[in-house]
Amino acid sequence: MTDCPLPENAPPFRDPSLKNSLEADGLYRSLFENSHLIMLIIDPETGAIVDASLAACRYYGYKRDELRQMNIMQINTLSSRQIRENMRKAKIEERSFFHFQHRLKSGKIKEVEVYSGPITIGGKDYLYSIVRDITEQVTAKSALAESEEKYRLLVENATEAIFVVQDGCLKFPNPKTLQILGRQENEISHVPFTEFIHPDDRQIFVEMHQRRLAGDETVPETCFFRLIGKSGVEYTVELNAVKITWEGRAATLNFIRDISEQKKLEACLYQAQKMEAIGTLAGGIAHDFNNLLMGIQGRTSLMAAALDPGDPNLEHVEGIDGYVRRATNLTRQLLGFARRGKYEAAPTNMNEIVQESVRMFGRTRKEVQIREAYEENLWTADVDRRQMEQVLLNLFVNAWQAMPGGGKLFLQTENEVLDERGSSQYQVTPGRYVKISVTDTGVGMADEILGRIFDPFFTTKEMGRGTGLGLASAYGIVKNHKGFINASSKEGRGSTFSVYLPASESEMQQEKRRYSKTVPGTETVLLVDDEQIVIEVVKPMLERLGYQVLSAANGAEGIEMFRRNKGKVDLVILDLVMPDMPGGKVFDQLKEIDPGVKVLLSSGYSQEGQAEQILRRGCRGFIQKPFAMGKLSEKIHDLVHAGKLPQKQ
């Protein structure tokens, strides 16, 4: 390499000795001038840039004479104190590496890596700095770090469990995975993942995992199974898995979502839909059965009225009447389950009903120890008192039967406020509820039995020892009161039934007086019913009481008969449920003919629902089938003779 002297027009050096030394060393000067490296010569005492390579001039955007008049502090973004400290370090050590940010003439900031050390030129000590632009590397590294941070945040804060399964073991678990399993990462790293899966679900998971690793594209990406936490808690989970390469070998990336609550909600919804369907069936059966009982009840009433008080057949007639009443109670339970049996609801203190019911129960079940805890300021609830007594008695009897050798029965009432989440599970309105809990120390129930206890006709007792309507009826009655009832139980650890009733905004009322008497009459009554069996018994009953009777077998015929006899009919006994024209529509058309018409609704269902709507539109009264002659006479007397609004049945 030849000597390359400085060009004639080269900018002056700040230090003449440096100029002389560089000119004297032609080889050094050639390397300095022609190198592609960004090089600076710096005075360690002042930081002045005493020389710069042509590559440095091109990089920083300054002419050489400009750089020779500048200080390193004008390029470096660090404070002057930090720069002096770094220069002292570079002067002492043989070589040093620094990461700086340098400012170009254009104003851009560049990330640079500086290799610096002491150098003696012309007998004077300087610092040399070789500068390398690492902006792209720093930017890429920063972007990678930012990307990794985003992924870390996503994985660590995900509501789903995320992990890798390789060689049968769980790797790289996120916090949600550890939370579900209830373990630390070091506790699971060498444990086969199948150990955390419910024994009944392991085989299907293993088969799908192996098929997925083998590249079988027909394997579903999603499956469901149960995980077992450290405390034995079971979680129903939804798994999504894909095949990946992890650390150079095949594995699966897994995403697990806890759907335990969703499954509970689905089970509750399914149960509600099932109970609704069965309730519709039960209501239809009860309706038809009540019509048959109406025929039996009516004929026994007619027979009893025709017999002399001393007639030996009267005892048999009264016996039949007793059996009809028992059958009626069964249909009432069916109607209760079908949510068509709320007769008379009023604001009530449930403490009183629970106390009275348990006292009556306790007198006949001495082997059961009863413990009671009542909320002092319990909210009132709008309930049918007798139906609530039936609910409680059914729960007490169920508890007693679960404790054949005796046991303890715990009763508790309390106020409770249900939020959106708590109420949605049972499809009720959020708000204030009165809660009644009945807990026994009996044999408990397995899960498969617990899921069926409210089904009508389901019983664990032997044939002939139970109808299976007690809990079903309780369920329907509570549901019809816009509340709900749930049960929890474990085999060998007893059961708890909790009844929730909406709190009332009304004040408590005294129970209404009920009375019974038979009063004859002479008015004209129009009987409208699509059941021939009802007409066959009710018409003679009315005639026996002294009334003139017109009858119609359907709604259209009844309307026409009423129109033809306008002004002559004193009362219409109208069936609520008829196939051709429902009772509500018939009532509306009767009112168009005569706005003052007096109508007594008759149905196997209760007055709740359709009947209640018709009553609000001006209908005068309601009587539920089956009814005896005495009850019928009372209702007619109240409407026709006394003009009173009748007591509800």
Question: Mean of the pLDDT values across residues 635-641?
Answer: 81
Helix axes 532-544, 260-306, angle to 10 degrees: 40
- Given this model, what pLDDT does residue 231 score? 74
Token readout for 91 is 């002067």
Highest mean predicted confidence (pLDDT) among 320-329, 464-473, 605-614: 320-329
pLDDT by residue (tens digit) across 98-112? 889 999 999 999 999
- Given this model, what pLDDT does residue 265 score? 74
- Given this model, what pLDDT does residue 5 score? 37
- Given this model, what pLDDT does residue 131 score? 93
- Given this model, what pLDDT does residue 515 score? 40
Pick the more confident residue, 177 or 448. Answer: 177
Place of tokens 């034995």: 232
- Model confidence at 602, pLDDT cuts 50, 70, 90, reads confident
Lowest mean pLDDT among 320-329, 434-443, 466-475: 466-475
pLDDT by residue (tens digit) across 329-386? 666 666 655 545 545 678 899 999 999 888 888 877 778 899 999 999 999 998 888 7
Which residue from 131, 67, 61, 135 is spatially nearest to 98, judged by alpha carbons?
Answer: 131
On the question of pLDDT at 189 being above 90, the answer is no
High-pLDDT (> 90) share of the chain, %: 21
Taking all residues of the chain, what is their mean pLDDT, rounded to a whole number? 81
Region class of 250: left (phi > 0), else alpha (psi between -120 and 50), else beta: beta
On the question of pLDDT at 28 being above 80, the answer is no
Please state, in angstroms and as integers, the Cα–Cα distance from residue 397 to each residue in 64, 466, 472, 530, following that order: 105, 11, 14, 39
The rounded distance, in Å, linking the Cα atoms of 137 and 115 is 17
Question: Mean of the pLDDT values across residues 139-157?
Answer: 79
Highest mean predicted confidence (pLDDT) among 86-90, 544-548, 624-628: 544-548
Lowest mean pLDDT among 161-165, 308-312, 505-509, 582-586: 505-509
- Given this model, what pLDDT does residue 184 score? 84
Neighbours of 363 (CB within 10 A): 8
- Given this model, what pLDDT does residue 159 score? 78
- Model confidence at 509, pLDDT cuts 50, 70, 90, reads low
564, 550 contact by CB (below 8 A): no
Neighbours of 642 (CB within 10 A): 10
